[in-house]
């Protein structure tokens, strides 16, 4: 399942893609999503506003990445809470924002893959 999540695959058949672009990692274009799986027809958007909840997943990912960046960057600064770290964290989070948006939607689809309306 982790492999399917990280390779942008449908939770139902594991073959069709969720996002139209093949590279979900370093792609800064506006995400293009399929409404349904092109292979099995699995409906990705369960109801109107379904992906509003993916915002919470994105928030958790962003906080975790911010903390990880702080822990990795802090040895390179003399003071424990140097303001320069904030700039480093901001740059990392901006670079990861497009990836987080895609990953959070994929995780949200996988969380509710059993839910049928």
Least distance in Å: CB of 57 to Zn ion? 21
C-alpha torsion sign, points 4, 24, 116, 59: positive
DSSP 22-41: S--SS--SPP-B-SB-TTT-
Q: Which is nearer to Zn ion, 37 or 101 (CB)?
A: 37
Among 13, 85, 92, 93, binds Zn ion (CB under 5 A): 13
- Segment interacting with Zn ion (CB under 5 A) among 9-17, 50-58, 85-93, 103-111: 9-17
Distance CA 108, CA 115 (A): 11
Residues 14-73 close enough to bind Zn ion by CB under 5 A = 16, 37, 39-40, 42
Q: Which is nearer to Zn ion, 42 or 70 (CB)?
A: 42
First-to-final CA distance of the chain: 23
Distance CA 29, CA 85 (A): 27
Q: How many residues lie near Zn ion (CB under 5 A)?
A: 8
Among 8, 10, 65, 108, binds Zn ion (CB under 5 A): 10
∠ at Cα 94 (85, 72), nearest 5°?
Answer: 35
Q: Which is nearer to Zn ion, 37 or 103 (CB)?
A: 37
Token pair 């303001």 in the structure block, residue = 83
Residue ranges that bind Zn ion, judged by CB under 5 A: 10, 12-13, 16, 37, 39-40, 42
């Amino acid at each position: 399942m982790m492999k399917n999540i990280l390779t942008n695959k449908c939770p139902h058949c594991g073959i069709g893609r969720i996002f139209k672009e093949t590279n979900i990692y370093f792609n800064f274009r506006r995400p293009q999503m399929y409404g349904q799986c092109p292979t099995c027809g699995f409906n990705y958007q369960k109801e109107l506003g379904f992906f509003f909840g993916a915002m919470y997943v994105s928030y958790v990912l962003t906080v975790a990445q911010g903390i990880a960046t702080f822990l990795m960057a802090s040895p390179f600064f003399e003071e424990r809470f140097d303001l320069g770290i904030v700039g480093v964290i901001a740059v990392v989070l901006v670079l990861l924002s497009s990836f987080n948006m895609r990953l959070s939607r994929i995780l949200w689809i996988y969380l509710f893959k059993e839910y049928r309306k």
